């Protein structure tokens, strides 16, 4: 069978697999459809997957000698059983019944096997002469792992090209999928903070009607009105707000992630491994869509990479300056996501002074600690300004007021957490069952989102785990991946299904590094065994990434466009009607409609521009009108009938007019 036909079948198989997935644009975990639903919706996807699997098995029987040899070369029974257990554990999120969960597990294993086998069959079908000659041709353009000597022709430009690629794709995701608006409660609050930070405020005076300006994760305590988030990310986002391009900040941070990762990996390993790592990052749906939203996670990854790169530079440069920069970056990470600072800092510092790391001296940690404490200490006056107590963070005050005192905290116990999100956190309290369920959800999403491979994005790492061959250079990536995943077990919430396993986002770069390393290890192992199998590992990686990127990226757009009900409809109404200096009442039972409008408010309610208020309490209208004199009045309304859209109902009404 010609290789190009197998490639088309691989595409058709992954498209069919995605057609079996139920991934609505809400904060719910994606599941495969139930078997009755699959039967009702048509058997074409199932038929294509069955043909894909059957074809792959037929082709592989023709290469059974190579397959048996490969299995023997890599087989280590205990490790293989552990790897198989991880694959099964990551294959699905438990559903609402045991029967449905078992059905979904079977569907997932079948689909994953079909995808893995068809790409393997395609890899073995491509002529050996082509795969063996491709490496030298590519090697003349870019350095490949293990290469020594002078740089190749495109080595210097490659990371910049990939960085620009990520910026463009992240910006496209922000513009088209997310419509330049924050969609998640956290990011709506972050953007609110960023705007008043850009106006030179640490908080705002309370609004004229708290119920009319309420969104989740903001608090008006009678004297101050503020967003609950830690100040690091809003401070950076405020630079975009000042420039009028806040939606472009995270795409730029995505590009910076590429450049920093390349420099870090080049110093830890070699330029070839760095090249492969950033090429894989450049097709990661997780990286690109996270770079399109307004969440804090891209900044936290950049700060971690700056800290690591600074330590690597400290070995060969002015130590006190680079150590101070590393400490400042970790301090800024504390201001951005404190839990991640506590997870990352011990790993980075331990690696810096450890025998398998940078081997810096203990006294070199003095500037790191001083700079880190100085930057992290900025949280104390900030917290005191908002809550009146430097040890009582705004996040905690908001959580205590919303869920009950002490519910949102690190640790275990029956009183930890809340019952507001049963679809995400089904068990009360936080204990070992919650740890297992949270790990399952995040591992499942990571396996899907990391690279978009139909065979599972962690497959290559698991294969290399079975084969062995890792060395001391891999300790940092393994430790960071472990800290960014296992460390969150002490927290009751798993992060939810927004933008992948977002609480595990610190593991993104380490896992991609380990994927690049796994490809190298398996290539070396196969090459040592003969039969021309070494170059085929790279072929498998390229084909899996190619198919995954071209299928998952557009498919994910369907989930993130108007995600959580937030859309650009109100912005379009404002543009079409030229609201200008106006007061707009939003009449809708859906809080998402007001979230869409809230993010369009000016930095402070006293600034010029359009002010949007949620028209929830008729008795408050007089007070609201009086608080905004000189503004024309408009009304946007969503009908009560299902399917009704937002529409302009009245306006412009003269300033001071009480809306009907």
pLDDT band at 128 (very low <50, low <70, confident <90, very high): confident
Its pTM stands at: 0.94
**Token code pair at residue 527:** 């090459």
Checking if the pLDDT of 532 tops 60, the result is no
Residue 27 has what pLDDT?
86
Across residues 563-584, what is the average pLDDT? 93
How much of the chain exceeds pLDDT 90, in percent? 69
| Residues 392/393/394/395 CA torsion (nearest 10 deg) | -120
The yes-or-no verdict on residue 95 having pLDDT over 90 is no
Judge whether residue 598 has pLDDT over 90: yes
In order, the DSSP letters of 420-437 are S-TTT--SSSBSHHHHHH
Residue 527 is predicted with a pLDDT of 63
In tens, the pLDDT along 367-386 reads 999 999 999 999 999 999 99
Query: What's the rounded Cα separation, in Å, for the pair 363 and 320?
Result: 10
Mean pLDDT of 11-39: 91
pLDDT at 362 > cutoff 90: no
What average pLDDT does the segment 259-267 reach?
Answer: 96
pLDDT at 376: 97
Please provide the average confidence, as pLDDT, over all residues in the chain: 91
- What value does the mean pLDDT take over residues 533-547? 87
Residue 15: the pLDDT is 96
> Residue 191 has what pLDDT?
97
Instruction: Provide the pLDDT for residue 74.
Output: 67
pLDDT of residue 319: 84
Per-residue pLDDT tens digits for 167-185 = 999 999 999 999 999 999 9
pLDDT at 530 exceeding the cut of 50: no
285: pLDDT confidence band, cut at 50, 70 and 90?
very high
pLDDT in tens, 433-488: 999 999 999 999 999 999 999 999 999 999 999 988 888 899 999 999 999 888 99
- How confident is the model over 134-157, as a mean pLDDT? 79
Nearest residue to 508 via CA among 351, 310, 322, 283: 283
Of 29-33, 345-349, 356-360, 510-514, give the lowest mean pLDDT range: 356-360
pLDDT at 68: 75
Residue 80: pLDDT band (50, 70, 90) is: confident
pLDDT of 459: 94
CA distance 49 to 306: 44
For the stretch 293-344, pLDDT in tens is 999 999 999 999 999 999 999 887 678 899 999 999 999 999 999 999 999 9
Q: Which pLDDT score, from 0 to 100, does residue 419 have?
A: 80
- Provide CB contacts within 8 A for 58, sequence distance 6+: none
- CA 266 distance to own-chain centroid: 24
Break the chain into its structural domains and give their ranges: 3-149+540-563, 567-660
Instruction: Check whether 414 has a pLDDT greater than 50.
Output: yes
Distance (Å, whole) CA 352 – CA 439: 29
Find the DSSP H helices in 221-248.
232-243
Task: For 186-241, write each residue's pLDDT tens digit.
Answer: 999 999 999 999 999 999 999 999 889 999 999 998 889 999 999 999 999 999 99
Q: For residue 11, with 0-12 CB atoms within 10 Å meaning exposed, 13-18 middle and 19 or more buried, which class applies? A: middle
The vertex-285 CA angle with 228 and 298, nearest 5°, equals 35
């Amino acid at each position: 069978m010609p290789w190009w036909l197998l490639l088309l079948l691989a595409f058709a198989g992954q498209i069919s697999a995605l057609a079996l997935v139920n991934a609505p644009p809400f904060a719910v975990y994606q599941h495969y459809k139930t078997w009755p639903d699959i039967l009702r919706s048509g058997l074409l996807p199932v038929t294509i997957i069955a043909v894909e699997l059957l074809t792959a098995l037929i082709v592989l029987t023709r290469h059974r000698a190579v397959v048996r040899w490969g299995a023997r070369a890599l087989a280590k029974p205990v490790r293989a059983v552990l790897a198989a257990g991880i694959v099964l554990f990551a294959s699905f999120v438990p559903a609402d019944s045991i029967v449905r969960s078992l059905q979904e597990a079977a569907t997932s294993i079948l689909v994953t096997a079909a995808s893995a086998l068809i790409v393997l069959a395609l890899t073995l079908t491509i002529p050996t002469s082509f795969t063996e000659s491709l490496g030298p041709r590519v090697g003349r353009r870019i350095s490949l792992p293990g290469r020594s000597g002078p740089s190749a022709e495109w080595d210097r430009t490659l990371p910049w090209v990939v960085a620009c690629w990520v910026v463009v794709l992240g910006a496209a995701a922000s513009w088209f999928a997310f419509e330049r608006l924050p969609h998640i409660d956290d990011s709506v609050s972050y953007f609110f903070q960023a705007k008043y930070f850009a106006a030179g405020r640490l908080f705002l005076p309370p609004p004229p009607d708290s119920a009319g300006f309420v969104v989740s994760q903001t608090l008006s305590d009678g004297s101050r009105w503020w967003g609950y988030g830690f100040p690091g990310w809003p401070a950076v986002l405020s630079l975009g707000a000042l420039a009028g391009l806040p939606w472009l900040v995270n795409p730029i941070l995505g590009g910076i992630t590429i450049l920093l990762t390349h420099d870090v990996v080049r110093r830890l390993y070699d330029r070839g491994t760095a090249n492969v790592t950033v090429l894989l990052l450049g097709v990661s749906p997780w990286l690109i869509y996270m770079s399109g939203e307004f969440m804090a996670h891209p900044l936290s990854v950049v700060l971690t990479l700056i800290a690591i790169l600074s330590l690597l530079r400290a070995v060969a440069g002015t130590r006190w300056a680079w150590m101070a920069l590393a400490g400042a970056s970790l301090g800024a990470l504390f201001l951005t996501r404190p839990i991640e600072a506590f997870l990352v800092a011990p790993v980075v510092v331990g690696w810096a002074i450890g025998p398998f790391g940078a081997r810096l001296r203990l006294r070199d940690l003095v500037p790191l600690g001083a700079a880190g404490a100085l930057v992290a200490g900025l949280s104390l006056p900030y917290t005191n300004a908002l809550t009146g107590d430097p040890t009582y963070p705004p996040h905690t005050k908001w959580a205590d007021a919303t869920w009950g005192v002490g519910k949102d905290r690190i640790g275990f116990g029956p009183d930890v957490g809340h019952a507001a999100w049963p679809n995400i956190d089904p068990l009360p309290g936080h204990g070992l069952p919650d740890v297992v369920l949270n790990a399952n959800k995040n591992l499942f999403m990571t396996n899907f989102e990391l690279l978009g491979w139909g065979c599972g994005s962690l497959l290559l790492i698991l294969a290399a785990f079975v084969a062995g061959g890792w060395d001391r250079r891999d300790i940092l990536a393994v430790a960071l991946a472990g800290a960014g995943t296992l460390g969150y077990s002490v927290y009751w919430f798993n992060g939810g299904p927004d933008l992948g396993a977002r609480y595990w986002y610190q593991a993104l770069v380490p896992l991609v590094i380990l994927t690049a390393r796994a490809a190298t290890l398996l290539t070396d192992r196969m090459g040592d065994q003969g039969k021309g199998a070494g170059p085929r590992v790279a072929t498998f990686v390229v084909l899996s990434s190619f198919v995954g990127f071209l299928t998952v990226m557009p498919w994910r757009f369907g989930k993130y466009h108007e995600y959580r009900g937030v859309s650009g409809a109100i912005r379009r109404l404002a543009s079409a009607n030229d609201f200008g200096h106006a007061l707009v009442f939003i009449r809708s039972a859906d809080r998402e409609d007001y979230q869409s409008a809230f993010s369009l408010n000016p930095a402070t309610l006293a600034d010029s521009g359009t002010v949007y208020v949620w028209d929830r309490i008729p008795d408050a209208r007089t007070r609201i009108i009086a608080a905004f004199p000189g503004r024309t009045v408009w009304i946007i309304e969503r009908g009560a009938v299902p399917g009704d859209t937002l529409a302009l109902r009245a306006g412009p009404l003269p300033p001071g007019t009480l809306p009907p």
